[in-house]
Chain A
């Protein structure tokens, strides 16, 4: 397993630079939007990766609630952290693209709002992890993750109703995608996914080491206090 890590790192580096070349040079320029459309190759793969990481967090949280397994807790933690980073990329690149194309930075559209609410839920998840006392953190966080997952369909329907009453600018959906663009998109997604797995993996290793160090220190402290007596 340990040898796989540098291989994955090299693969990620190669894929990321190849994907960058593809997105900036090879992919055809969009007819109406021009070059600004190229941000799409970062925006969409980031969104897919973020949602996948949030899903991973939910599954790991449920596993933790059932099994009380430390590994599941670490997976939940790192997938939420990296997921929030990718989700932030989505929320930042979206308005950069929307301003020249739609003429506005932001609209309360279904997908935008859902992404924002997910981001808010997961930021509160990370805040809870940071603020709660160590022993109970995994359990509280897992419970909150389950509540967040229960919330997602409700958020979806509430915004769906909201949208039907307050029509906002139409999204450039419905059109067909140039197959060359689709290919570049998939290459970018593969690169981003590798990158996400790489970051999660290293974060996982750091977190495990950190917990081992804390345990050892606690144990040493205990032994010392006994020895002193």
Chain B
């Protein structure tokens, strides 16, 4: 009998795993993907929407069109997972049984978790660009913004793409300069972290860039509540920051069905997952890919992409009764838009922090790590077609390995002048 493989979530991880498994098994597996809607958003594009640098229509495609023939795609909400019965209950009352379950439902935005955030000012003076509606509403507000205090605020970690709030600051600085408004705007980045980023060398480099651009950083600010009527953010330790326009990244958690599925998730709704095999800790036949997992690396598309190989390999091993391979190493890489048609690139894993160097070949590049360049910006723009046509179908990107390769430090003079 064909293996019954059920994939929850038709985003980056669910799509690429389903396509890889279909190519591997053909008719020997019956693969079903369930998602609550049929709109696949290219999430890295959300950053550009508020500035009119991308149109919402350019970054959304139907989910069903991204799957290989032979994959069954269903639109439905998940009610819960019954681990003991190998069954997923759907909101429409039907049940789906599985031999292997892949959880790829990502992280959800939870503005309601923060007092005062999601009231009548939501979409007016309080915005987020982490959803398509949010990014579009923010564009309207930014268009009408003539000056004042613009505050970009991360409420709490973990969040998707931890560099995106910084990129938003860099792009806002650039776009406000183009409009001749930069002098009238006080731009502040408010973060619960003790610096610009989580890893020390990159944090120092990004912190310096913020300083050069006149962006103030308020660090170690754990947002407790928002007074939307007064336009103030309040930290748990009773500091206060005033804003005219707030761009917030709400707290993230797992989707609600995780909480309704006994034994599956942690307190925040992320799925307890082995960081190397990507098997869930709740059951041997449940695997987790992408933002849904509680593994200690960034919640980012690159992570999901690199995890894909391990998840597919281990599903195959599990079905054949073989021992799993523990090969996922936490590899992540991110382009960081810095404005003025430039970007920075960082590359790291569970253990190694992002360092200066070259990527993907350690001496040749052609891309510069942890240094601004136009080529990095071009590579970021060139990535969208690769996403739809190479990554989602489940192919490897030529020259880019799922495994992290530490940088071999180039001579120092080369480092400072890299590809400017």
The answer to whether A and B assemble together is no
